[in-house]
Structure 1
Amino acid sequence: MRIVVMGTGPFAVPTCVRLLQDGHDVPLVVTRPAADARAKKAPPRPVYEWAKAEGIEVFEPASINSVEAIERVAAYQADLFFVCDYGQILSDACLGAARLGGINLHGSILPRHRGAAPVQWALLRGDQEAGITVIHMTPRLDAGPALESLSTLIRADETAGQLEPRLAELGVDATVAAVRTLEGWDGEQAIGMRQDKTQVTKAPRFSKADGQLDFRLPGEYLVRLVRACQPWPGTFGVLTWGAGKSFRIQIRGARWSNSVAGWKQLEPGGVAVVEAEQVDPTWEAPWDRMLGIQCQGGVLLVGLLQPAGKREMFASEFLRGHPLDESTRMTLPEVPLSTLD
């Protein structure tokens, strides 16, 4: 088939590679424009890099739904659009520029987690499974009939940065199967499974502010937030020693427990060193020494952190250089935060 690819981020790349390997004609890649030249750091565009390496023409419209952009894409007479991790919603007019319309590879089991950050929200909401869905596209966000869907168990301690590439690989065969379905489609009969509107949940994009930790919240939720926010936007707090020194730290790896031997109940944000042997013996601690932080319902056990301007390190290394005292604590936001979910 003649397939025009529309994508920007890394989630699309494994399937793009497979489409070429399977002999499909990919004459054009449409991707989000590069960041403003004044920006300090342009966001990565893996699909753009892949297309350039393969010698495929790249088109970077500010709006894919403009008359000029639609005319440009229509000139390629594509059978199908493959859309994944692109960043724009296609209009009816744009979808009509391909003979069979478009398919979208989405990083969730739809209709759960419609939106720009499905992997992060699967972790934040404590889902046991994650997955992918390939839909036949409509102009509504992630609302088309499902052609293929696959799921996988979420691993213990898995972060968004670890889960997303697994799902991207899971989506390859599903997309190939969806393409085969459309190759035999007459353009008239209904295909795919309609999504149950009563089961829709939203997965909006995270902001930097969403990574702020409030230790008045439940520890179980804070651990899910840490996992969902890795690698971006990261979760952070400020560790202070009275009125003296303070460190803004990103928490990179954490668990929580409501059973820490010898732990004395503190105010939310209160801290103490926790050794691995203090944790419930049926629970295998991944770190030998942790920064324990009092939160609602238990203790957040931080094993991996990154002080501002420094490299990532184990909590044990940080604590050797910065021992705690009675004044040490994690500051709390002035206005209590609520859970995102």
Structure 2
Amino acid sequence: MDKPLSIVMLGTGDFALPTFIALLDAGFRMPALVTQPDRPQGRKQELIPSLIKQEALARGVAVFQPERVNAPEAVEHVRSLAPDFLITAAYGQILSAELLGVPRVGALNLHGSILPAYRGAAPVARAIQNGEVESGVTVIHMTPRVDAGGMIAFARTPIGPDETAGALEDRLAALGAPLILDAIRQVAEGRAEILPQDPALVTKAPKLRKDDGVIDWSLPAGRIHDLVRAMQPWPIASTIWTALPWTPKGSVRLIVHATTVMDGSGEPGTVLAATSEGIDVAAGRGAVRLLKVQTPGKKPMPAADFVRGNHVQAGDRMGG
């Protein structure tokens, strides 16, 4: 009986977890999971292990957490594991040519878009932010250039009109796990068709920054709705609510979790109505109804509850 293929998985984000589980369940040998060092999280800045690290420890897989995976000692450690494949998904570091040359057969990556569209760190969020109605995953043969390798397999899926980046990423992760299993077998058996990416069709998906979530009310309502969906689970969209000058509330940062597009017109950022249905705000074209909001340090709540507790009214302002 042939010896099972040996695979070293490199992954950190939750997007990588279904692939990691699928590889183990399929019977591949997994000498180690390579994942980013634990980082401080939350108000208490506790070192909380990622879900994929927790899964690895629970299933008896060794965990390797180098600060720099391309450092000579890290590369040598991976080499000592003698993998047939390196498999990456949401790892968080670019792999050097030296590291990519370590596996006997090759290195494959699961990416959260239909390449060559949305190369980069935030393909799911950027696709939703740009109003795309379809997404998917691509398995590529890795090269030192980010997300530029030859394409081995694809799977497509529609994006729901109210779907958030977090929800879509979960679906894409599940969609990609069986795809990468099949790609491994095709490559190992020498029957994979590897297609080059068309450079003319490349688009970028840069890493999210905290200020990417600030709402620009001059945008059309649909674009604002897409931004709110795209910024979840991080950094989450936000705006500044300024009450009418003769009210005592002043200005408050308002975190926006859910919206819908409405008819309406007015100066962008002006509250048109504040009712039991939510808070309607004029956009550059149309209006946006805030459905779920949050103030710093508080729990998310229906916008209608925020209206009742804070006396939001027509004429208030949203934005800088």
TM > 0.5 fold call: yes
Q: Hey, what's the Cα distance between the residues in 1 that align with 2:314 and 2:140?
A: 56
Question: Is 1:270 the counterpart of 2:270 in the alignment?
Answer: yes
Deviates more, 1:216-225 or 1:266-275: 266-275
Unaligned runs of 5+ in 1: 276-287, 333-341
1:6 alignment counterpart: 10
**Partner residue, 2:31:** 27
Query: Does the CA contact (< 8 Å) of 1:70 and 1:94 recur in 2?
Result: yes
Residue 199 of structure 2 corresponds to 197
> In the aligned structure 1, how far is the partner of 2:221 from the partner of 2:47?
35
Aligned residues: percent identity?
40
Q: Which residue in the other structure is 2:219 paired with?
A: 217
Q: Determine the structure 2 residue equivalent to 1:235.
A: 237
Counterpart pick for 1:316 among 297, 304, 320:
304
Structure 2 CA distance for partners of 1:273 and 1:233, relative to 1, 3 Å: same
Matched, 1:255 2:260: yes
Secondary structure of 2:185's aligned partner: helix
Within the alignment, does 1:289 sit opposite 2:291 as a pair?
A: no
Q: Who is 1:16 aligned against?
A: 20
- What is residue 98 of structure 1 aligned with on the other side? 103
- 1:185: Cα distance to partner? 2.0
Distance 1:325 1:150 in 2: 47
Aligned 8 A contact 1:3 1:78 in 2: yes
**What is the total number of aligned residue pairs between the two structures?**
312
Q: Distance in 1 between matches of 2:107 and 2:185?
A: 13
Q: What stretches of structure 1 move > 3 A for 4+ residues in a row? A: 36-39, 41-44
SS class of match (1:70): helix
1:78 to 83, 88, 93: 83
Greater Cα shift, 128-137 or 322-331: 322-331
> Which residue is 2:288 aligned to?
300
CA 1:129–1:325 in 2, change beyond 3 Å: closer, same or farther?
A: closer
Q: Please point out which of 100, 115, 120 is paired with 2:125.
A: 120
Q: Kindly state the Cα deviation for residue 47 of structure 1 after the two structures are TM-superposed.
A: 1.7
Deviation at 1:315, TM superposition (A): 1.1
Change (3 A) 1:75 1:326: closer
Residue aligned with 2:30, SS: coil
With structure 2 as the length reference, what TM-score do the two structures score? 0.92
- Aligned partner of 1:174 in structure 2 is 179
Q: Aligned to 2:64, which of 36, 45, 59?
A: 59
For 1:180-191, list aligned pairs within 5 A: 180-185=185-190, 191=193
**Residues in 2 aligned to 1:291 and 1:326: alpha-carbon distance in whole angstroms:** 9
Extract unaligned runs of 5+ from structure 2: none
1:270 alignment partner AA: T
1:41, distance to aligned residue in structure 2 (A): 4.4
Secondary structure of residue in 2 paired with 1:4: strand
Contact residue 272 and residue 324 of structure 1 kept, 8 A: no
Q: Is the 8 A contact 1:274 1:301 kept in 2?
A: no
How far 1:266 moved relative to its partner? 2.9
Q: Residue 16 of structure 2 aligns to which amino acid in structure 1? A: A
CA distance in 2, matches of 1:198, 1:39: 46
Measure, in 2, the Cα distance between the counterparts of 1:314 and 1:42: 32
Deviation digits for residues 210-231 of structure 1 (CA, Å, limit 9, x no counterpart) = 1111212221111111000011
**Residues in 2 aligned to 1:70 and 1:324: alpha-carbon distance in whole angstroms:** 58
Deviation, 1:42, is 4.3
Q: What does residue 109 of structure 1 align with? A: 114
**2:311 partner amino acid:** P
Partner of 1:158: 163
Contact 2:120 2:146 in 1 (8 A): yes
Q: Which residue of 2 aligns with 1:143?
A: 148
Is the CA contact 1:271–1:294 (under 8 Å) kept in the aligned structure 2?
yes
Cα separation, 2, equivalents of 1:44 and 1:123: 28
Indicate the SS of the match to 1:27. strand
- Do 2:57 and 2:63's aligned partners in 1 also have CA atoms closer than 8 Å? yes
SS of alignment partner, residue 294 of structure 2: strand
TM-score, scaled relative to structure 1: 0.87
Contact 1:145 1:191 in 2 (8 A): no
For the 8 Å contact 2:269–2:317, the answer to whether it is kept is: yes
| Equivalent residue for 2:54, pick from 49, 57, 71 | 49
What is the one-letter code of the residue matched to 1:120?
Answer: A
Query: Cα RMSD over matched residues?
Result: 1.9
Q: Distance in 2 between matches of 1:36 and 1:311?
A: 22
Contact 1:64 1:70 in 2 (8 A): yes
**Equivalent position amino acid for 1:63 in 2:** R
